[in-house]
């Protein structure tokens, strides 16, 4: 016990976590971990992942990794939100109403320090059940995926402007990996704007659907990296930019919706050395978070949220500019510049002058 405690504190101290909460309910079989990384900017928002982890330590580490990423993502998106994430350990196919409601009660007990939403293994229906027991949920009214796609679309335009001096998509060749909720909507926006899209999906039926609907070219999943294009847009899995795939890329820009696109930090540098501009994933794919964050504040006007999502393009331009400044000290990766951009905002807010306010 002593060992476990000191081990968990070591993990927490390494990335300066505020709080880790373990919840269990024997009757329903609930085992959940909520990781609250940082609430300096606001409540820690992050989805609840339902997953059959091999070990409890894997679950803890996953919750912590994802929570920390949410701190950076919210900060870079200009939101007044902190970073948190929850995992429920178990088979997502075996969840019950009682388990979800028990979980909702525990989330409520955190008093709003953690706000939950949908994630891998949880559905909108699950979130609605959780919401029976807690008001600290969001993403119930607005579907985040179209906003994510819209943000990626504007991010791609900003990258084109940076590289080619022109943000127009007319005739631009784009290879899209993954035609799911984000990739599918992105392809619609790209085709409408005049881009020439080549895409792939492991689900051949899905790929065929988009080929018929939009007249795009479709290739096999393993062929997408070598497609001759201006922009490669990963919208499926993480880790797709790695030693093997980088060699195949012919593009000038990597900009897509997938999370954790770089397999390792070094791949950000390798892309830079190859002269490929990388749009840091958590900056370009923040449209969905912006939407659910605003929904939590009671704002559901889609037009207003879209205007805010469009600003992802300006943020990327600022990050590219920062990277150029950082290159003087031999930092070439735009992913590193994005981290500096997010941390700069957190530090700016941390250092706000503490003026006296009477208690209300
Ligand atoms: P999704 O599950 O709807 O779509 C993923 C698609 O990729 C599926 O159609 C799947 O068949 C395909 N796919 C999987 N492996 C593939 C491979 N090796 N080659 C080609 N296609 C493959 O998921 P969604 O929501 O579109 O998310 C896509 C990515 O964007 C994920 O990495 C997700 O974490 C990230 N993301 C999604 C957000 C959202 O609002 N939905 C927000 C931020 C990030």
Taking residues 176-189, report their average pLDDT. Answer: 97
pLDDT of residue 71: 98
Q: Which residues contact 126 (CB under 8 A, 6 or more apart)?
A: 48, 50, 95, 100, 118
CB 48 within 8 A of CB 86: yes
Residues annotated as catalytic are 85
Taking residues 217-238, report their average pLDDT. Answer: 97
pLDDT of residue 359: 82
145-344 under CATH 3.40.50.720, yes or no? yes
Is 70 exceeded by the pLDDT of residue 353? yes
Whether 2-70+80-140 shares its CATH topology with 145-344 is answered yes
Is 90 exceeded by the pLDDT of residue 7? no
Query: Which atom of ligand 1 lies closest to the CA of 240?
Result: 18
Partners of residue 52 on adjacent β-strands: none
285 lines ligand 1 (CB under 6 A): yes
With pLDDT > 90 as the criterion, what percentage of the chain qualifies? 93
82 lines ligand 1 (CB under 6 A): no
Cα torsion 90, 29, 39, 12: sign = negative
**CATH code of the region 2-70+80-140:** 3.40.50.10860
Report d(CA 24, CA 33) in Å as an integer: 9
Write the residue with the smallest CA distance to atom 43 of ligand 1.
285
- What does 227-250 look like in DSSP terms, one character per residue? S--SEEEE-S-SS-BSHHHHTT--
Sheet holding 277-278, edge to edge: 217-218, 196-200, 173-177, 231-234, 253-254, 277-278
pLDDT of residue 302: 97
pTM over 0.85: yes
Report d(CA 134, CA 128) in Å as an integer: 10
Q: Where are the domains of the chain?
A: 2-70+80-140, 145-344
Q: Which residues contact 157 (CB under 8 A, 6 or more apart)?
A: 167, 168, 169, 313
Taking residues 144-152, report their average pLDDT. Answer: 97
CB 308 within 8 A of CB 330: no
Please tell me the distance between residue 307's alpha carbon and the centre of ligand 1 in angstroms.
24
Is 90 exceeded by the pLDDT of residue 331? no
Structure tokens at 207: 């790929």
pLDDT of residue 44: 98
Distance (Å) of CA 302 to CA 144, 153, 211, 295 = 11, 16, 29, 10
280 lines ligand 1 (CB under 6 A): no
Write the residue with the smallest CA distance to atom 30 of ligand 1.
258
Using a 10 angstrom Cβ sphere, with 0-12 exposed, 13-18 middle and 19 or more buried, the burial of residue 50 is buried
Structure tokens at 333: 């990766």
Distance (Å) of CA 324 to CA 37, 291, 332 = 30, 30, 8
pLDDT of residue 355: 85
Is 60 exceeded by the pLDDT of residue 231? yes
Write the residue with the smallest CA distance to atom 31 of ligand 1.
258
Is 60 exceeded by the pLDDT of residue 209? yes
The dihedral over CA atoms of 228, 229, 234, 240, expressed in degrees to the nearest 10, equals: 40
Give the pLDDT band of residue 245 (cuts 50, 70, 90).
very high
288 lines ligand 1 (CB under 6 A): yes
Taking residues 283-304, report their average pLDDT. Answer: 97
**DSSP one-letter code for 354:** -
The SS3 assignment for 86 reads strand
Taking residues 135-140, report their average pLDDT. Answer: 97
């Amino acid at each position: 016990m002593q060992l476990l405690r000191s081990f968990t504190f070591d993990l927490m101290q390494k990335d300066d976590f505020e709080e880790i909460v373990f919840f269990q309910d024997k009757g329903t079989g609930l085992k959940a971990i909520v990781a609250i990384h940082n609430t300096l900017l606001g409540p820690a928002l992050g989805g609840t992942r339902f997953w059959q982890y091999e070990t409890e330590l894997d679950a803890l580490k996953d919750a912590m990794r994802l929570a920390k990423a949410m701190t950076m993502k919210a900060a870079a998106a200009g939101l007044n939100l902190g970073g948190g994430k929850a995992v429920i350990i178990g088979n997502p196919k075996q969840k019950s109403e009682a388990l979800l409601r028990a979980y909702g009660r525990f989330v409520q007990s955190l008093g709003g320090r953690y706000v939950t939403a949908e994630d891998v293994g949880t559905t909108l229906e699950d979130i609605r059940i959780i919401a029976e027991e807690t008001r600290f949920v969001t993403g119930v009214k607005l579907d985040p995926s179209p906003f994510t796609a819209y943000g990626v679309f504007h991010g791609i335009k900003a990258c084109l402007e940076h590289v080619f001096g022109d943000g127009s998509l007319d005739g631009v060749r784009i290879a899209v990996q993954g035609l799911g909720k984000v990739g599918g909507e992105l392809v619609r926006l790209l085709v409408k704007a005049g881009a020439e899209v080549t895409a792939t999906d492991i689900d051949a039926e899905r790929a065929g659907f988009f080929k018929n609907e939009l007249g795009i070219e479709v290739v096999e999943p393993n062929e997408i990296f070598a497609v001759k294009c201006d922009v490669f847009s990963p919208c499926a899995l993480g880790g797709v930019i790695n030693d093997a795939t980088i060699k195949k890329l012919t593009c000038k820009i990597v900009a897509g919706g997938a999370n954790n696109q770089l397999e390792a930090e070094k791949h950000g540098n390798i892309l830079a050395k190859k002269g490929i501009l990388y749009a840091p994933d958590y900056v370009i794919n923040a449209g969905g978070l912006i939407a659910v964050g605003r929904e939590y504040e009671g704002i559901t006007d889609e037009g207003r949220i879209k205007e805010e999502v469009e600003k992802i393009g300006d943020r990327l331009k600022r990050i590219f500019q920062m990277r150029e400044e950082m290159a003087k000290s031999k930092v070439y990766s735009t992913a590193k510049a994005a981290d500096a951009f997010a941390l700069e905002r957190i530090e700016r807010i941390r250092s706000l002058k503490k003026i006296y306010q009477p208690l209300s």
